Amino acid sequence: MGEKCETSSAREATDALRRLVSQARTRPQDADRFLWSADALDELARIADVVGRAVEDVAGEESGAVREHADQLATAIVAHRNSLLRPRTTDDEQAAPSPRDGRIAASARR
**What tens digit of pLDDT does each residue of 31-59 get?**
787 888 888 899 999 999 999 999 999 99
User: CA 101 from chain center: how many Å?
Assistant: 15
Residue 104 has pLDDT above 70, yes or no: no
* Mean pLDDT value of segment 7-21: 91
The pTM of this model reads 0.68
Query: What is the residue type of 14?
Result: T
Ranges 35-39, 80-84, 89-93: which has the least confidence: 89-93
- 42 HSE (CA, 13 A, CB side): 13
Distance of alpha carbon 48 from alpha carbon 27, whole angstroms: 23
Distance of alpha carbon 44 from alpha carbon 50, whole angstroms: 10
> DSSP state, 61?
S
